[in-house]
Structure 1
Amino acid sequence: MHRTLVLDIVGLSPRHLGAHTPNLTRLAERGAMRPLTPTWPAVTTSVQSSFVTGAAPSEHGIVANGWYFRDLAEVWLWRQSNHLVEGPRLWRTARERFGADLTVAKMFWWYNMYADVDWAVTPRPVYPSDGRKIPSIRSEPPDLRGWLQGELGRFPLFNFWGPTADLKSSAWIAEATRKVIDRDRPGLVLCYLPHLDYDLQRHGPSGPHAVKAAQEIDQVAGDLVDHARGLGYEVVVLSEYGIEAVDQGVHINRALREAGLLRVDLVDTGWELLDGGQSAAFAVADHQIAHVYVSDPQKVSSVKRLLEGLDGVERVLDAEGKRAAGLDHPRSGELVAIAAPGRWFTYYYWLDDAVAPDFARTVDIHRKPGYDPVELFTDPAIKALKLKIGWTLLKKMAGMRYYMDVIPLDDRLVRGSHGRLPSSREAGPVLLSTRTVGATDHMDMTAVYDLLLATMAD
């Protein structure tokens, strides 16, 4: 059996490979490169789950980065339990084929918690009752956390997501992966490097920012690949999706509210909170797709017609459309909307920013009932922004409650998104391998599962 490193470089596309990415380009030239035909939707947790199950979302159940939990009447995004994934697991099948003693490391790969692997690390902030957010990680075994943070310093959570997200988080993850490889020599290593996700959403998939981001991740990934190769590892580099240019959001929940279908709860603080349990229809927005939950089956057709007439919506899938797209699962909405090229879905449901909930202007991925890429920006309308942030951080350091309300509510800031099927193979996801991958000029994403098993085989 060949030890194998699987490196997920988020947002990498064939068009990024070239003179400014010498390490990844060399890997493609010496081994193999294939554009990937993605499963749909092209979002992180859905695609990662297809990689490790060999199945579409209709089978593994990860229909987006989050969904409406009907029994709780709550929207939850970015859950971590591996028990949410249905179907086989790559590492279980590998153990059946190559021996029960095969060891596995999952380094920041999603649905990390409670996976039956030997080493696992994932972001897990600590939230004291005074309102602070303290960067941390969760690990299996538990002492791995202390060892890694003792070697590398505390995980840079605020460089992993938010306005200050940058290369530091991916560099930390890559170095942590290297240390686990050096110490434990896992038979299979799954590593997630998110760096391209940041500036490509902020500034778009082309131009100087994209080139610089590609150069940076090429160096980090190249160092890890070379190190693993020196220890005898085969390497597969892959991506979940390509990021394409956008310039405007689609306020799908506002349209449903204006039609009298979405309900809010006006709480005592003067904020409006989405009330999914009382809504006739509402959307869980996730990049360029939105699951639309319709409580009354008799209203599905009328809601579909309403959304099909909304500017920025390309298609709306009903039950038949979901079956054709591989998205017919009980967790899916009764309808699934797909944004038009150049557009993406906001989660905004209020009609007046004055009654937006307090978390809307913060980085709060768990309380927002939809994905919010605007969290990558600070509000350009705030005067003396650095002074405001500095004062807030002083309160945090003093152990006082603080409110980091620096995130804008302007969908026009976002310049890159994903979720739709790519406009071309050059703009879509890609796979690079140190080994040959067959004669086809592209590969289905669900075939990656078998390719990884073949890579590990003697």
Structure 2
Amino acid sequence: MPEQTVIFVSMPGLRRRDLQHMPRLSAIAGAVADLVPTFPCVTSPVQANMLTGRTPQEHGIIGNGFYHRDRRTVELWVGRNGFIEGPQLWERLTAAGVSSAAWMTQNIKDAAADYIVTPEPIHHPDGRMDLWCYSKPDGLYQRLFNDLGHFPLMNYWGPMANIKSTEWIVNATLWLIQRERPQFNSIYVPHLDYAAQKFGPNSSQAIAACAEADGQLGRLFDGLAAIGAADPTILVAGEYALTDVSRVIYPNRVLRDAGFARIDERDGAEHLNVAESVAFAVVDHQFAHLYVGKPEEIDAVAGLFEGIDGIANVLIGRERAAFHVDHPRSGEIVLICEPDTWLAYYWWHDDAKAPPFARTVDIHAKPGYDPVELFFDPATKSIPLDASLVKGSHGAPATRPDQFAAIISNRPLPSTSETIRDVDVCQHLESIV
């Protein structure tokens, strides 16, 4: 293989302490440091930080989703690369003549990478869904499907999430490197997220997940050697670390009870009407963007959350700049939790009036991230409506060592410091390609 192969694995939830359960990753760890994510410490912003070298208020990815004020709709997991503002690593690699591939990276559709694969299931009017992936160039996913079968989306998120999705990603990465030889390969592997959210980041299940992920990394390393990439440069970044949580807050219930959130009843179910609400929350793990349609009500809305146990910060206007989220897409108010607390999107008080999508895995219909989708209620054969089930979360500012992720490489890291910021990863990636 004539060019140097670079493997960049984005593995949310990976911490230094996890290396004791990951012998294959530990074996290549020539350099290890703490990775300090920029708030908000969730996947879409942190990946954008690492691939642009800029903060959320500069590149515009202020969460895993946001409210489109022009369309008056909420959209999570927006997918399209055009939402990232400013230059990205992909364009710089292309300009330098370096070929690149992106596997499951957030906000990657239409990016300048040469090869892209990311989930894009086909939804039919009758509710059926067919497995499929967006790919670049056209026809790439069809070739992968022919040789490897479908990407197992049900094992990537939801109550059936497990190591099978990571196994497919590893197989597909090796398949592409063997045939097309991309020099830079970015791989998103969220396996550690599942058990850490369900059972807690230090649970026996989370430790078992580390071993499973390590097994797949070992397959990747062995596979690279088998196809001729015997000495690749490897960088594994943990994105963020999860903390144990024992408390959940429901901002949309607070706003509803105060008369700010508009709730419509249809067919016996209650629906949040974001277009007609004075204020509502787009919750995202341990923070939320509160969108307030009437400027004169901002202080009143903010006051509802001052003093609530579990809420660490209530940011208004320019106060958001100190936390890197002073951007036009941000809510007029940003809530930040204490590390032991997370935020659920629910607005109903009676589960009998929950909208139908609440009991399903539907990441696009819900105006907020819902980790309860990882659970299954056998009695109702659906997703339960018990937010207290969640035992791990992330997103709050990383101010304590237990909120730091890990960054690991088989080559020297960009600094001799014990800590590296996520915004410094981009320059390092450019330097090693």
2:28 corresponds in structure 1 to: 27
- Give the direction of change, closer, same or farther, for the CA distance of 1:134–1:95 in structure 2 (3 Å limit): closer
Structure 2 residue matching 1:172: 3-state secondary structure: helix
CA distance in 1, matches of 2:113, 2:208: 35
Q: CA deviation at 1:57?
A: 0.3
1:177-199 residue CA offsets vs partner (Å, 9 max, x unmatched): 11111111101111111111111
Which of 1, 8, 11 lines up with 1:9 in the alignment?
11
Alpha-carbon offset, residue 291 of structure 1: 0.4
Per-residue CA shift, 1:154-207, capped at 9, x if unaligned? Answer: 111110111000000011111111111111110111111111111111110012
Which amino acid in the other structure matches residue 32 of structure 2? Answer: M
Alignment match, 2:334: 336
> Which of the numbers 163, 166, 172 marks the counterpart of 1:167?
163
Find out whether 1:419 has 2:395 as its counterpart.
yes
AA aligned to 1:424 is R
- Report the CA distance between 1:243 and its aligned residue: 1.1
How far residue 45 of structure 1 moved from its aligned partner, in angstroms, is 0.5
Which residue matches 1:129? 125
Normalised TM-score (structure 1): 0.90
The residue identity in structure 2 corresponding to 1:377 is F
CA distance in structure 1 between the aligned counterparts of 2:394 and 2:273, rounded to whole angstroms: 27
**Pairwise mapping of residues 397-412 of structure 1 onto structure 2 (< 5 A)?**
406-412=382-388
Counterpart of 2:416 in structure 1 is: 439
**Corresponding residue number in structure 1 for 2:428:** 451
Asked if the contact 2:317/2:332 (under 8 Å) is kept, the reply is yes
Q: Counterpart of 1:372 in structure 2: which amino acid?
A: D
Give the C-alpha shift of residue 226 in structure 1: 4.0
Contact preservation (8 Å) 1:14, 1:426: no
The alpha carbon displacement at 1:444 in A equals 1.0
Evaluate the alpha carbon distance shift between residue 77 and residue 278 of structure 1 in structure 2; reply closer, same or farther with a 3 A threshold: same
What's the C-alpha RMSD, in Å, of the aligned pairs?
1.5
SS at match of 2:44: helix
Alignment of 1:196-215 (within 5 A): 196-215=192-211
Match of 2:61 in 1: 62
Shift of 1:147: 1.3
Match runs of 1:17-416 below 5 Å: 17-18=19-20, 20-28=21-29, 31-96=30-95, 99-100=96-97, 102-228=98-224, 231=229, 232-267=231-266, 269-379=267-377, 381-382=379-380, 385=381, 406-416=382-392
Q: How many residues align?
A: 427
- Distance in structure 1 (CA, Å) of the matches to 2:62 and 2:27: 35
Q: Contact conserved, 2:279 with 2:290, CA < 8 A, in 1?
A: yes
Distance 1:381 1:249, change over 3 A: farther
- Cα drift, residue 34 of structure 1: 1.1
The one-letter amino acid of 1:421's match is: P
Unmatched runs of 5 consecutive residues or more in structure 1: 386-405
- Deviation of 1:79 after TM superposition, in Å, equals 1.1
* C-alpha distance after superposition, 1:250-282 (max 9, x if no partner): 111101111111111222x12221111211111
Question: In structure 2, how many angstroms separate the alpha carbons of the residues matched to 1:228 and 1:339?
Answer: 42
